[in-house]
Structure 1
Amino acid sequence: MTPGDRRTRWRRVGRVTAILAGILLGLPFLVLAGAAVATLVITSQIEARYPPAGRRVAVPGGHLAVIEAGPGEGAASRGTVVLLHGASANAMDPMQAIGRRLAGDGFRVLSFDRPGFGWSDRIEGAAAASPAVQARLIAAGLGALGVGPALVVGHSWSGALAATLALDAPERVAGLVLLAPATHPWPGGTVPGYAGWYRSVFGRTLLWIAARTVAAPFGLYALDRFAAVVFKPDPMPPGYADAARVPLVLRPSTFEANLQDLDGLYEFLARQRPRYPQIAAPTVIIAGDADPIVRTPVHAEAMARDVPGARLVVLPGTGHMLHYTASDAVVAEVEALAARVRAGAE
């Protein structure tokens, strides 16, 4: 082989190597581009399947979506119950679990999409991750609807929100029912290294990309598995994810809002905990002793000690989604508190 042949051969090898390197380097971008297109399609299909189920209420900075059931405004009722959903959910979750039943029993029921969830605007952007901001917006929504004081029922993340509402807008709250509530800073705080990584420019950029590419396709594939984990040790009701409109959380903007809400909760609870003795509204706290998500001794039992006169109900063998798996007990406690509030008013 002549030197010229060798040079020609190496040039060919170089060209092939460059082509292969280009393909390998470009493949991740092609995958992300495909995932981004899939996310747009999935988001469109989710919004078409789960359109707004109620009305939008104007508040400073935007609108909150609310689902209503039971006697209408001005009609005779046993009282007004406001439902506030937890993380990764929307207004339909508590409405399906206990709201329809309470409405059938004569209560006016209002279930809000929290800011950034369901069909509510993410008013104030990332600042809306604070339960204090969300409480102010929910209070404004109740004011726009002419509601208050009402029984406020908060599940999980919204245990903090409902408590904040009772502290910051007590004129809107006649009584509190906290279901498996997240109310106190937990041992160990956030996962080591997670908060710092997420809050870095790199972390936020990576999660922004993930929310718009792989999160929706992967989340849709694994949705039932994730939901089943939240119900443990109880079984998940058949058709739960569809009936509760859970896929709405997979939309990029809602996915980001959910992460922001979870990321900032620990620090907020550490600041708010000393205020709980100031809660004046009659309070009932219901939790399961088998809850693997929000530990009852850390949150519910501590809240019962901190809030004057609070009633604690611990359900044996029950997990985190007790408004579904122990709905009889939850409805009975809501109705008992309503009767207690009415008696006190009279």
Structure 2
Amino acid sequence: MVLAVLAGAPLVLAFCLLAIGAVASLLIGWRAGAAYPPAGPFVSVEGGRLATLQAGPETGARGTVVLIHGASANAADPMEGIGRTLAAQGFRVIAFDRPGHGWSDRLGAGTPASQADRIATALAILDLGPVIVLGHSWGGAAALALALDHPERVSALALVAPVALPFPQRMTLPWYWRLAAKPPVAWLLSRTLGPPLALYHLRGAAAHAFRPQPEAADYLDRARVPLALRPGALFANVEDLMGLPAALERQNPRYGDLRLPVLVVSGDADPLVRIDAQAGPLAERIPGARLVRLPGIGHMVPWVAGDRLAEAVADLVPVAATTR
């Protein structure tokens, strides 16, 4: 009898931890949603809605720039980092919450191509295009997919610290990460232990993303980062990241077919997406692409080198106009 009780103790403990985590996850998600409600118009597409943040003039604008954010983020990240600067310079700026992130519905879209399809539909509904598309990090892959699959919607690309090329085969995750990323396990963790653990590591993760620069003042609040702690967004982020290698393998052979102005911007001190592994080789693959190397700058280019980035994006306007 005693042995049976002892044998069952780990299961009871595991159940209790999951139950406590589930309650904590509900509270974390509720607090994030209440603190950062939708702050821009929605665009209804088949199966749901995409959330946007918009800034700048709707008429008489110098051009329209669409912002696509990276992993563990939402539309506020690029909008506050670079979007407000572009809007102040006379651009109309539209930042999308990618499907499953921020306040956008998931829409069954977990790959760069499928998310690009949903954004292209939204642009058509908004009667926008061709537009300059700026994608940061994971968003760079989505921006490339948008240009490849919907060229009528894109006049130029600005790829900022982009993740776009296949990863080396030797880059494999430890077994416990591979287990945690399995859909049933990831779903369970995203609704139990995931949000509390992510909340605990939130500040450190943000600081690491900004290195070697210091984290921008009030970054977590201005970029509405806690929205990524909600269970649905957490699970969507895992799906996006785990599906990215195969997606890049599929779209990588097509980069040489791009025939539009492409700007690739990356910091040479980026510890997350190294310029010699991604931005540099990518610029060589795309005909006519221009690589802007930022000495000493890390991954968060839109926040720490916003003026330089805005200047480079503005330079795309006359080039895009002549290539239409």
TM superposition score normalised by structure 2 = 0.94
Question: Gaps (5+ residues) in structure 2?
Answer: none
Based on CA coordinates, which of the two structures has the bigger radius of gyration? 1
> How far apart, CA to CA, are the structure 2 residues paired with 1:189 and 1:87?
22
Residue 159 of structure 2 is aligned to residue 173 of structure 1: no
Q: Match for 1:94 among 48, 62, 78?
A: 78
Residues 201-258 of structure 1, C-alpha deviations (whole Å, 9 max, x = no match) = xx33322221111111121122110111111111111211111011111111111110
Residue 78 of structure 1 pairs with residue 62 of structure 2: yes
Corresponding letter in the other structure for 2:73 = A
The answer to whether residue 48 in structure 2 is matched with residue 62 in structure 1 is yes
Alignment partner of 1:139 out of 96, 99, 120: 120
Q: CA shift at 1:38, angstroms?
A: 1.2
Q: Distance in 2 between matches of 1:255 and 1:246?
A: 12
Counterpart of 1:191 in structure 2 is 172
Match of 1:253 among 216, 223, 232: 232
Equivalent position amino acid for 1:226 in 2: A
What does 1:215-234 correspond to in 2, within 5 Å? 215-234=194-213
Residues 40-97 of structure 1 show CA distances to partners (whole Å, capped at 9, x for unaligned) of: 111111100000010110112211111110112xx11100000000000000000001
Flag as ranges the 4+ runs of structure 1 deviating above 3 A: 17-25, 192-200, 342-345
Calculate the aligned-residue CA RMSD, in Å. Answer: 2.0
**Which residue is 1:209 aligned to?**
188
Matched-pair contact (CA < 8 Å) for 2:85–2:307: no
Q: Is the 8 A contact 2:260 2:323 kept in 1?
A: no
The answer to whether the Cα contact below 8 Å between 2:85 and 2:306 also exists between their aligned partners in 1 is: no
Question: Is 2:133–2:158's contact at 8 Å kept on the other side of the alignment?
Answer: yes
Seq. identity, %:
48
Deviation digits for residues 71-130 of structure 1, max 9, x if unmatched? Answer: 12xx11100000000000000000001101111111100000000000101002xxx211
The whole-number CA distance in structure 2 between the counterparts of 1:274 and 1:25 is: 48
Partner deviation per Cα, 1:128-182 (whole Å, 9 max, x = no partner): 2111111111000000111000000000011111111111101100110000001
Give how far 1:37 is off. Answer: 0.9
Q: 1:230 to 1:196 in 2, by over 3 A?
A: closer
Determine the C-alpha separation between the residues in 1 that align with 2:178 and 2:205. Answer: 24
Residue identity opposite 2:102 in structure 1 = G
Q: Is the 8 A contact 2:50 2:103 kept in 1?
A: yes
Q: Give secondary structure in 2 for the equivalent of 1:143.
A: helix
Change (3 A) 1:251 1:19: same
Deviation at 1:27, TM superposition (A): 2.6
Provide the secondary structure at the position in 2 that maps to 1:106: coil
SS in 1 for 2:122: helix
Q: Quote the residue 1:7 is aligned against.
A: none
For 1:40, give the aligned amino acid. L
Task: Summarize the Cα distance change of 1:298–1:195 in structure 2 as closer, same or farther, 3 Å threshold.
Answer: farther
SS at structure 1 position matched to 2:168: coil
Structure 2: how far apart are the matches of 1:92 and 1:218?
23
What residue number does 2:37 align with? 51
**Does the 8 A contact of 2:264 with 2:279 survive in 1?**
yes
Q: Output the TM-score relative to the length of structure 1.
A: 0.89
Q: Secondary structure at the match of 1:184?
A: coil
Contact 1:55 1:67 in 2 (8 A): yes
Structure 1 residues 194 and 160: CA distance shift in structure 2, 3 A: farther
Q: Structure 1 residues 23 and 199 mapped into 2: Cα distance closer, same or farther (>3 Å)?
A: closer
Question: CA distance change for structure 1 residues 116 and 24 in 2, over 3 Å: closer, same or farther?
Answer: closer
Partner Cα distance (1:27, 1:321) in 2? 40
Question: Which has the larger displacement, 49-58 or 218-227?
Answer: 218-227
1:284 corresponding residue in structure 2: 263
The whole-number CA distance in structure 2 between the counterparts of 1:138 and 1:148 is 11
State whether residues 152 and 162 of structure 1, in contact with CA within 8 Å, keep that contact through their aligned partners in structure 2.
yes
Q: Match for 2:296: what amino acid?
A: G
Amino acid at match of 2:71: A
**Matched residue SS, 1:286:** strand
